[in-house]
Structure 1
Amino acid sequence: MRLQLLSDLHLETEHFDPVPVPGADLLVLAGDIDSTWEGLARFAGWPVPVILVAGNHEFDRRELDTAWPALREHCGQLGLRLIERERHVVTSPDGRRIRFVGTTRWCDFELFGPGRRVKTERAGEFFARVMRSTQHGEPFDAAAVRREALACRAWLADELACSGDWDATVAITHFGPSLRSADPRYGDQPGTASFCNADDDLLPHADLWIHGHLHCRHDYRVAHPDGRETRVVCNARGHGHKNESDGYDGARTVDV
C-alpha cells in the first residue's frame, strides 16, 4: 500500500496547494493542517481515502471537550476519517490488511527522563500559552497536556500490543516518538520535550510510524533484536518565513 504523507501545512497562514499523487492508495494527514479547520476542505473529494490525526494547533483557542466532537463531525462532513485513540484496518490493493492506529499523543515531558521533567514542563508552558486552549473549562497548561499525553500513551501501548488479523501496523501520531526525531536546530534543549516523546519501547510493535509536529523531515529505521525494524517518517512542511518549507515535497509517499 502506498501512502501519501502531509503534515504541518499550517494553511491558516501558509500558501500551499496539496495535490494528489498518482498511484497513492491513501493520504495520511499527521496534524497541524489548519488551526481554523477551513483548509481541511481542500481534501474533500480526494481521490483516495484520507486519514487524519489531529495536531496540537487544531485546538488553538478552543475548548478540547467541545472541539473533539466538532472536529470529528467536520471531518465526517468532508469525507475525512479522523482517528483518535482508534484502530482503522484497511485492505490494500494486494489484499494485505493494514492496521492504522492513531492518536495526537501530546507530550508527557519525559523525553529526557523524570529527572528533567521540571525543566521540560516549564519550557512547555510557553507552547501552552501560544495555544491558549482549555479543557474542562480550565487552561490547557503543561500539567493538563501531560495528563492527556499519558492517557494517549496508555491507549497506544495497549492497542499496539494487540494481535489480530492484519499483516502490518502503521502508527500515526502528531508528536514524535523518539529523540531521534528531534529538530537538529534545537537538539536536546528542554523545549524539544514539547515535540517528541520517549516512545522507543513501542516502536517494535509498528512496521511504520508516521508523525508530524517537528518542522523538519525525517526518514530513519530502528532495528530491533528480533531482526525486524520500524521505519519512522515525518513529512512536515513548516513555516515558509522560517525557511522550514524549503525543498518540501508534497508528493512524498511511503510504502507499507
Structure 2
Amino acid sequence: MRLQLLSDLHLETERYVPTPAPGAELLVLAGDIDATWRGFEHFRGWPVPVLFVPGNHEFDGRDVDDARDALRAHVQALGLRMLDDEAVVIADARGRRVRFAGSTRWCDFDAFGPAGRERAMRAGGYFQKVMQATRHGQPFGVEAVRALALDSRAWLAGELQRTGDWDATVAITHFAPSLRSADPRYGRQPGTASFCNDDEALLPGAALWLHGHLHCRQDYRIGATRVASNARGHARKGEADGFDGQWVIEVFAPA
C-alpha cells in the first residue's frame, strides 16, 4: 500500500494547497493541519481514503474533550476518518489488509526517563500556556497532558500487541515515538520531551510508524520498524524548504 503523508501544514497561518500524490492509495494526515479547522475543506472529495490523527494545535483554545468530539464530527462530514486511540483495517489494491492504529499520543515527559521528567515538565509548561486549552474546567497543563498521554500509551501498547486478520500494522501518532526524531536545529534538551516520547519498546508492534509534530522530515529504522514523518512547518522559518507534499511511502517492501 502506498501512503501519502502530510503533517504540520499549519493552514491557520500558512499558504499551502495540498494535492493528491500520483499512485497513492491512502492519505495520512498526522496532525497540526489547521488550528481553526477551516483548512480541512481542502480534503473534501479527496480521491483516496483519508485518515487523520489530531495534533496538539487542533485543540488550541478549546476544551480537549469537547473539541475531540466536535473535530471528529467536523472531519467526518468532509469524508475524512479520524483516529484517536482507535484502529481501522483497510485493504490495498492487491487485497493486502493493513491495520492503522492512530493516536495523538500526547507527551508523557518521560523521553529522558523518570529522572528527567521534572525538568521536562517545567519546560513543557511554556507550550501548554501557548495552547490555552482546558480540560475538566481547568487549564490543560503538563499534569493533565501527562495523564492523557499515559492513557493513550496504554491503549496503543494494548492495540499493538493484538493479533488479527491483517498483513501489516501502521502506527500513526502526532508526537514522535523516539528521540531519534528530535529536530537537529535544537538537539536534545528538556523541551524535546514535549515533542518526542520514548515509545521504542512499542515499535516492534508496527512495520511502519508515522508521526508529525516536529517541523522537520525523518525517515529511519529502529530494528524492523521504519519511522517516518513528512512535516511542512512554517515557511517563514525556512522549515518548508525541501518539503515534498507529493512524497509517498510504501507499507510493504517491494517483492
1:245 aligns with 2:240: yes
- Report what 2:163 is aligned to: 163
How far has the Cα of 1:186 moved from its partner? 1.4
The one-character-per-residue Cα deviations of 1:116-174 (angstroms, maximum 9, x if unpaired) are 11100000000000000000111000110000000000000000000001000000000
- Report what 2:99 is aligned to: 99
Matches within 5 A, 1:32-111: 32-111=32-111
How far has the Cα of 1:84 moved from its partner? 0.7
Runs of 4+ deviating beyond 4 Å: none
Corresponding residue to 1:255 among 247, 250, 255: 250
**Identity over the aligned pairs, expressed in percent?**
64
The one-character-per-residue Cα deviations of 1:60-92 (angstroms, maximum 9, x if unpaired) are 000012101100100110000001111100011
The one-letter amino acid of 2:92's match is S
Q: What is the TM-score normalised by the length of structure 1? A: 0.97
- Report what 1:25 is aligned to: 25
The one-letter amino acid of 1:155's match is W
How far has the Cα of 1:39 moved from its partner? 0.1
- Report what 1:231 is aligned to: 226
Q: What is the TM-score normalised by the length of structure 2? A: 0.98
The one-letter amino acid of 1:241's match is R
Q: Distance in 1 between matches of 2:169 and 2:91?
A: 12
The one-letter amino acid of 1:118's match is E
The unaligned stretches of length 5 or more in structure 1 are: 224-228
Q: How many residues align?
A: 251
Q: Distance in 1 between matches of 2:93 and 2:158?
A: 28
The one-character-per-residue Cα deviations of 1:7-63 (angstroms, maximum 9, x if unpaired) are 000000001110001110000000000000000010010000000000000000000
Q: Distance in 1 between matches of 2:65 and 2:110?
A: 25
- Report what 1:210 is aligned to: 210
Q: Distance in 1 between matches of 2:123 and 2:241?
A: 27
Matches within 5 A, 1:139-218: 139-218=139-218
The one-letter amino acid of 2:238's match is N
Q: Distance in 1 between matches of 2:209 and 2:6?
A: 14
The one-letter amino acid of 2:41's match is A
Q: Distance in 2 between matches of 1:3 and 1:121?
A: 34
3-state SS in 2 of match to 1:124: helix
The unaligned stretches of length 5 or more in structure 2 are: none
Q: Distance in 2 between matches of 1:168 and 1:236?
A: 24
- Report what 1:10 is aligned to: 10
How far has the Cα of 1:188 moved from its partner? 1.3
The one-letter amino acid of 1:246's match is D
3-state SS in 2 of match to 1:40: helix
Q: Distance in 1 between matches of 2:221 and 2:116?
A: 27
- Report what 1:121 is aligned to: 121
The one-letter amino acid of 1:251's match is Q
